[in-house]
Structure 1
């Protein structure tokens, strides 16, 4: 009787290991497919810079964040808080389903971290052109970024230029596998670099500014 019980336990344990291994592999395969997806910011809503609606800062087709008195005052106090709601579109042109359960993220501009957070929702992107929208909220002080003169000039050119300007934005993602009731953190961040143009970013604000 004891031998039967022991054998049953070994069988159940072996099955649990196989099930867990399959589950990990499935999530790892979806994560690998996610790395090959394309990413695009498709909307920017409720953008506030130092408490000022960004739409009020639109001048001659650009966004001037250094001439508004309230922003200049915030800069003198070494603060430049930015709040916004972004929609990130993920497109899967591969042949395998892509997905992720939960993940920590960081956003960098000019190699300076401007944002971090945690997405606590499952994201699944079907293959062959499937898409998913991921909401990203910004609530961060941008002063460390623009206090550097080189960065400040780059940001100014990007926002005020009448011609198309490009800036590389880096999304750093650290996934978490969910196995049963346990979460296993991925050992490192996955970097996804995206080229953002000022014309695209400003078009979102202009669209919101129209009646």
Structure 2
């Protein structure tokens, strides 16, 4: 049986070992390949616009909802961007938190934080991370006309539910070491193709 004095020496070593493991997992996470793989559940002012590409594709009820929303001073947009992360490392990659920034046509629209732990298996393992977006285009794009805001909302989903070139997403992963949050230095910019970002 270990003496109390021996445990006092071992505990810091265990903490150092755990910390090193967690740091290694985050380092592996930042070496993963990322992409925005798809967009789902695109909703503009209560209208499902996932498959609607232009104003002419709408029926009168849908167009009426958007017009009424804009007139009331709001045009809420919600969608889910699925981010694929692929781990090329020979050890597990992980994070505890991920800050994100959504940009549309290069303009920062909304920011958020995902507080779920994500773990990705080594040697080509892949995980899909759903990022739920909620924003108000009427307030963010206040200088836009109604038609401009509607067309902006309709143009976010490309063929095959792929994100359109208008969309970009930046992410910053973090990992917890005890009660301390250790963030990755800077944001990783994602595209629709696998890459390490920039």
So what's the TM-score if we normalise by structure 1?
Answer: 0.66
- Residue 108 in structure 1 maps to residue 102 in structure 2: yes
Following superposition, the deviation at residue 26 of structure 1 comes to 0.8
Structure 2 runs not aligned, ≥5 long:
194-198
Q: 1:11 aligns with which of 6, 13, 35?
A: 6
Structure 2 CA distance for partners of 1:145 and 1:36, relative to 1, 3 Å: farther
Structure 2 CA distance for partners of 1:112 and 1:55, relative to 1, 3 Å: closer
- Residue 52 in structure 1 maps to residue 47 in structure 2: yes
Following superposition, the deviation at residue 48 of structure 1 comes to 0.8
Q: How many residues align?
A: 179
How many angstroms apart in 2 are the aligned matches of 1:128 and 1:59? 43
How many angstroms apart in 2 are the aligned matches of 1:49 and 1:59? 13
Question: Which structure exhibits the higher relative contact order, with contacts defined as CA atoms closer than 8 Å and separated by 6 or more residues?
Answer: 2
Structure 1 runs not aligned, ≥5 long:
1-6, 198-211
Alignment correspondent of 2:174: 175
Following superposition, the deviation at residue 193 of structure 1 comes to 0.3
Alignment correspondent of 1:166: 165
Corresponding residue SS for 2:127: strand
8 Å contact kept, 1:45–1:84: yes
Structure with the bigger percentage of helix: 1
Alignment correspondent of 1:81: 76
Structure 2 CA distance for partners of 1:127 and 1:58, relative to 1, 3 Å: same
Alignment correspondent of 1:192: 188
Corresponding residue SS for 2:41: strand
8 Å contact kept, 1:167–1:196: no
8 Å contact kept, 1:168–1:196: no
Following superposition, the deviation at residue 114 of structure 1 comes to 1.5
Q: CA RMSD in A?
A: 3.7
Corresponding residue SS for 2:12: helix
Name the larger-Rg structure: 1
Following superposition, the deviation at residue 86 of structure 1 comes to 3.3
Alignment correspondent of 1:96: 91
